[in-house]
Amino acid sequence: MDVEACGVLDRKSPHLLRICDDKFIPGLKEMTDAVHAEGCKMTLQLIHYVKQSVRTGWKQAIEDLSYEEIDEIKKQFVDSTIRARKAGFDGVELHVAHGYTLSSFISLLNKRTDKYGRNTEGRCRIVTEIMDDIRKEVGYDYCVGCRISGEEFVMGGNTLKQTTEIAKIFAQASMDFISVSAGGKTEDGPWYTGYSGSRCMATANLPYGCHVYLSRGIKNALREINSDIPVIVSGKVKDLQHGEEIFQAGDADLIGVCRPALADPDWIKKQVEGREKEMIKCVYCNGCLERDQRHEKVNCVIADKIAERKAAQQAQQN
């Protein structure tokens, strides 16, 4: 189980969990204790974001970050990893996908001309340095992986040609897994409003398994360097049977599911028990995303309507 993006820095927006201070450890520990009591492992996704304005669309450029600011970013990830372990998380996932800080560094859109730019190795340097510092603090027996965008789906951005090489670099930098997402860049529209955003939060018009070709490409690239670290794929995985087909084809080792589990928290259990007909199925309308963008409680709009209908029927019966 992977928890939502959790901020490694103290900044007012966006509205996320925080792990930028020791004061957050007790609350997070309550959560991990509850999950562990059910026999489940739990990782925490760590995220850093540059300054940006939703109102005007302005976003701080990573080209403007000084070495001192970059060092602070690296320290924030390391300190947050230490806190995550103290809070009982079984591992962490570095968010190196979509439109956030680390993703902006590894993208071809990064135009820095110093050691944090110029070529693939330079663009990946901030992440590999973070991994070096994390391993010095927590060792190699603590699970640390990352999430990347297999393709960015913006002009001039990363495609599978670049991300296969990035995956090799990350595997050699002691990543324990690579989770493959896509898109999510703000260059074509803020807050997942452009095409890149629609590929990140795969919409109803896209086919099931629309990102499997990305995990397949990355998996094959890792085989070239004899790396067997797990690759996770997400993006409209239809059901457990679909996931099994992906595994059997050798295209990924794990599947990532979010919106279907939001629509029905028993998404896995009902399939294991043969109760598929009882499932509330995600229709990929992204009503949950719209609620998130309005800073509202993020529930599935379909599940809410079904619950309201059942409550009304029960009230009539009574």
Tell me the residue type at 99. G
DSSP line for 241-291: HHHHHHHHTTS-SEEE-SHHHHH-TTHHHHHHTT-GGG--------HHHHH
Residue linked to tokens 């529209």: 189
Buried b (16+ CB within 10 A) or exposed e, 255-267: bbbebbebbbeeb
Whether residue 100 lies in the annotated active site: yes
- Helix (H) / strand (E) containing 30: helix 25-36
- Smallest Cα–Cα separation from 106: which of 114, 96, 94? 96
- Smallest Cα–Cα separation from 170: which of 225, 249, 104? 225
> 177 — phi, psi (to 5°)?
-160, 160
- Smallest Cα–Cα separation from 289: which of 303, 279, 301, 305? 301
If you count them, how many residues does the chain have? 318
Catalytic option among 49, 100, 116, 192: 100
Cβ atoms of 63 and 112 within 8 Å: the answer is yes
DSSP line for 213-236: HHHHHHHHHHHHTT----EEEES-
CA distance 315 to 309: 10
- List residues with catalytic annotation: 100
